[in-house]
A and B are shown apart, each in its own frame.
Chain A
Amino acid sequence: MTEVNLANVTKDYGSVRAVHGIDLGIGDGEFVVLVGPSGCGKSTTLRMIAGLESISGGEITIGGRLVNDLPPRERNISMVFQNYALYPHMTVRENLGFSLRIAKADAAAIRTAVRDAADILGLNELLDRKPAELSGGQRQRVAMGRAIVRHPDVFLFDEPLSNLDAKLRTQMRVEIKKLHQRVGNTIIYVTHDQVEAMTLADRIVLMRDGHIVQVGTPLDLFNAPVSTFVATFIGSPPMNLIDGTATDDDTIRLANGLVVPVPASARGLLQAEQKVQFGFRADNLMPAGHAVQEDGEMAELDLTVTLTEPLGTETLLFTDVAGTEVQAKMLNPRPVRPGETLKFHLMLDKCHVFDAISSQAIRS
């Protein structure tokens, strides 16, 4: 059983605090993704778990064992690096077997372990090549192979896909997920790409400026963001946010005087004249006749399209609500010319309200 626990973990570089008291419990076999913009402390946190950075404060335990001052080799973890960090002077076979050789495993055991790993990742053809003779995707696979060879307690991935091109990235994402389903180890995965986080994670840990902003399943973060930061970071396109003011009769007056009712989730929680941001996703603003049929409260808006982005199964429509550019989605699209005015349905049940000053979500 390998849980990883972080209790009030901090990291200081001189007088600068890079990670502010992180508390995080990761269950056995869980796939947790640390995500956030660059410089948010996610990599530092991962490297502290790995033992590559010293811990300035707090406690880290792996499988119940305190590892604060243990060197990496005594933590029984393995790690896949962004630039793969394959040993350039060794063949793929030697790269895979290196950790076992260091651990003085016998030759037969190393051979079996390497063969198994190569089977899982389809590396059998490449075993006698040097890293320089491999393509980016193959190197990535070798790096993963090196990580699984010695059956560690925890896998750490540090932005492993960011050096691959878009197509390969999608492909490797699937492979990583398959790998996890197959070996079932605890995985801690760092990325700045919210799509990777959404698709891979059992649980997402969204970080910013050295703090954890929100922890939850991908759908939690998507459907119930705790702040405008989460709302705009998770999901593509980002959530539309429009400035408005609460009135005393359960409506919100948007910048240009347009009035919308307060979504049910926030009803009764707003004070009159409170400055808010009214948020909704493109999926919840759709032209009539091109929307999913849903029950619930609906507002109708006549909006002029300024720009279109056809994506095939859907088209993104750029339009303007109360002086703010917003994106809407059109299903079963027909060609739309910029300048056309359409009737849109806004699904009020799916809308969010954030406090304009604290940026925090207002939700019951």
Chain B
Amino acid sequence: MDRNRTHRNRKRLFRLLHLLAVFLTMSVICIPGLWIVLNSFRPTVEIMAKPPVWTPSFTLEHYRAMFGGAGEGGVPVFDYFRNSLIVSVTSTVIAILIGMSGGYAFARYRFRGKSGYFVGLMLFRAVPGVALSLPLFIVFARVGIIDTHFGLILAYVAMNVPFTIWLTDGFFRQIPKELHEAAEIDGCTRWQAFWKVEFPVARSGVASAAIFAFLTSWNEFALASQLTRSVGSKTMPVGLLDFTAEFTINWGGMCALAVLMIVPALILTFIVQKHLIAGLTFGGVKG
């Protein structure tokens, strides 16, 4: 009887500790982001207040300033948002087309040195953005595509292709090869079999690869900060720095822009989370 009771009590204690640990983990993950969101709605005076004010008041001042054109500190948020969108969407579409074709090759064909090719491609992804930005800066300047959407798109396509290959390879490999064989017997060419059968089946996987590529471009800073200079091509991560002057930082404005950056990312993540995990693990585990 006694042993049973101690075991029962220990179980209860464990459950309590577990709950506490989960709560703490979630707090650490959530609080920084929430703090940014909260502060984007607080007046600057309150953010800067000493001693700190713990009962927040509410204002849209930063958002109004941000969207009000020249606004706070004259940061052209709209232009940055537009640049980010153009660059991210275009580079994603191209990277997906190229990456999907590569991923399909890895998933469906046997050839010599396959894993060599695969690791080789991945290694190019491992080249640090900063290290790449130096020569790219010089080459792009020579070719004359520095500070253009095109240049940045090109760089992001190259950056996203390897990882897209990794993901789509995994998704295509999950599709039994009999499916395209059945389609070929049903009268399809290989090309038709891909677009009518394999692609629709892998659609959700490809979509999550696309969103991953989109987010990488959307969030990228090291390359963008060197390859763009003007309002016409700067993306939001680079624009974030506009809020920092030599000694002062416009915290409220920065928070508002941060929210503008993170909201699309979070929504997209929410949509694809399930497929994304499946793609990452499948591609890797069954390599």
Contact = CB atoms under 8 A, between A and B. Distances in A.
A54 interface: no
B186 A99 contact: yes
B200 A102 contact: no
B226 to A, nearest CB: 44
Interface string B152-180: 00000000000000000000000010110
A102 B187 contact: yes
Contacts of A81: 178, 181-182
B178 A73 contact: no
B251 to A, nearest CB: 49
Interface stretch (A83-91, A115-123, A213-221): A83-91
B185 interface: yes
B184 interface: yes
A150 B188 CA distance: 14
B240 interface: no
Most buried by B among A77, A86, A98, A146: A98
Interface string A68-87: 00011100011101110111
A205 to B, nearest CB: 21
A78 B185 contact: yes
A221 B12 CA distance: 69
Contact of A72 (B184, B192, B196, B200): B184
A85 B176 contact: yes
Interface in A139-190: 146, 150
Contact of B197 (A51, A82, A87): A87
Interface of B is mostly: helix
A99 B187 contact: yes
A296 B71 CA distance: 111
A83 B200 CA distance: 19
A98 B186 contact: yes
B201 A73 contact: no
A187 B92 CA distance: 48
Contact of A71 (B178, B189, B197, B201): B189
A167 B15 CA distance: 47
Contacts of B189: 71, 73
Contacts of A103: 187
A102 B186 contact: yes
Contacts of A98: 183, 186, 196
B185 A102 contact: no
A83 B182 CA distance: 11
A73 B184 contact: yes
A99 B192 CA distance: 12
A207 interface: no
B192 A102 contact: yes
A73 B179 contact: no
A50 interface: yes
A292 interface: no
A89 B188 CA distance: 17
Most buried by B among A83, A85, A89: A85
A170 B40 CA distance: 70
A109 interface: no
B95 to A, nearest CB: 24
A105 to B, nearest CB: 10
B182 A79 contact: yes
B195 to A, nearest CB: 11
Contacts of B186: 73, 78, 98-99, 102, 146, 150
B185 A83 contact: no
13 contacts: A50-B185, A51-B185, A52-B185, A73-B187, A87-B183, A87-B197, A87-B201, A98-B186, A99-B186, A102-B188, A102-B196, A103-B187, A146-B182
The 4 closest A-B pairs by CB, nearest first: A99-B186, A85-B178, A85-B182, A102-B187
Interface of B: 176, 178-179, 181-189, 192, 196-197, 200-201, 203
